[in-house]
Amino acid sequence: MGLSLVSFMESFLRLSFIAAGLRLRTVAIDADTTLRCWISNSLPISSSNSGPDRRRLKPLLVLIHGFGPSATWQWRHQVRPLSRHFDLVIPDLLFFGGSTTRSPHRSEAFQAASLARLLDALRLSKISVVGTSYGGFVAYHLARALGLERVERVVIASSDVLKSAGDDKGLAERAGVENVQDLMLPRTAANLRALIGLAVHRPPRFMPEFVLRDVVRNLYNQNVEEKKELMRAVTLGNRDEFQLTPLPQDVLIIWGEYDRIFPLEKAYEIKKRLGEKARLEIMKDTAHVPQGEDPEKFNEILLNFLLGAPRSAM
């Protein structure tokens, strides 16, 4: 077997999280479910602690990744600048990274309930939360379930919480695949190329086949069947299971101007449905992953919203 660029990058990303003052923990939230998460070293906590969380100098921020690689890949440009202002908790969602469950439940609401139990296990109370793409679905459920008493501010980035079956059909057509699962869980270099073409405003002009195959083999080859179940179990769009209602928290919606996974017009609909406490920031020259395409601007927008005053992202 030859050298894997993905494996090398994975090691580099882990080191960058460590350098930003984070450590990796694995927490059993019950007999069936275990979550892996990165937490700030400034949180000297133990799941065996009793009583409320200890006094902190920084506010607490939870970052929730979307479908695709684990959290280290999706928040790599955010950890260092955000760690200067926040204590961070960055979980891998169930069936991503090292997080697993024997429970049969697969909905995004169950993901949110699992994160709520993680916060309880870590004795953490008041938080703000940022979720991107699928992680935005989870962030919405988490904020609604925990309420204003425990969740102060909410950021939903590139996340169509009004998604329906018709939206999935349109996405599959844009990608030239039979169904959305073929796109979001690519099993071939061609499908990964299609995903990158939709997710990034200016994809690399040259993407060697061997690199794409390496990414598919190392980043999209784990828990494939369980992830398909996660996609099928999303309650958004099912009127019997989910209704989008305004949240009690202040909400920031961030959207890439050229997002072709979740088109920009959906952002305006979501802002309208979430009500007066929601605001929308459109990031120019970005698509579905603005946190990676223009991280400096993305981080500046986050800090200005979460800290309530203009801040530099440097």
d(C-alpha 126, C-alpha 30), whole Å: 22
d(C-alpha 259, C-alpha 116), whole Å: 30
The percentage of residues in the chain with a pLDDT greater than 70, rounded to a whole number, is: 93
Residue 114 within any structural domain of the chain: yes
Q: Which two tokens mark 32?
A: 């069936």
Residue 49: pLDDT above 80? no
pTM of the model: 0.93
Residue 188 within any structural domain of the chain: no
Residue 109 three-state SS: helix
pLDDT digits (tens, 9 = 90+) for 199-210: 999 988 888 999
Residue 312: pLDDT above 50? no
pLDDT digits (tens, 9 = 90+) for 68-125: 999 999 999 999 999 999 999 999 999 999 999 999 999 999 999 999 999 999 999 8
Residue 164: pLDDT above 90? no
Residue 179 within any structural domain of the chain: no
Residue 306: pLDDT above 80? yes
Q: Which two tokens mark 159?
A: 């996340």
Burial call 149-164: b when 16+ CB within 10 Å, e when fewer: ebbbbbbbbbbbbbbe
54/252: higher pLDDT? 252
Residue 1: pLDDT above 90? no
Q: Residue 128 — φ and ψ, nearest 5°?
A: -115, 160
Nearest residue to 252 via CA among 150, 140, 145, 91:
140
3/121: higher pLDDT? 121
Residue 48: pLDDT above 60? no
pLDDT digits (tens, 9 = 90+) for 93-102: 999 999 999 9
Residue 211: pLDDT above 50? yes
Residue 223 within any structural domain of the chain: no
d(C-alpha 186, C-alpha 193), whole Å: 9
**Mean pLDDT across 265-279:** 96
Residue 55: pLDDT above 60? no
**Mean pLDDT across 28-32:** 97
Residue 64 within any structural domain of the chain: yes
Burial of 264 (0-12, 13-18, 19+ CB in 10 A): middle
Residue 249: pLDDT above 90? yes
Average pLDDT of every residue of the chain? 92
Residue 56: pLDDT above 70? no
Position 162 scores a pLDDT of: 94
**Mean pLDDT across 136-158:** 97
Residue 310: pLDDT above 70? no
Print the domain residue range for 93.
5-44+54-167+234-307
Residue 159 within any structural domain of the chain: yes
Residue 204 within any structural domain of the chain: no
Position 57 scores a pLDDT of: 73
Position 111 scores a pLDDT of: 98
Instruction: Tally the domains of the chain.
Output: 1
Residue 199 within any structural domain of the chain: no
CATH of the domain at 247: 3.40.50.1820
pLDDT digits (tens, 9 = 90+) for 58-69: 999 999 999 999
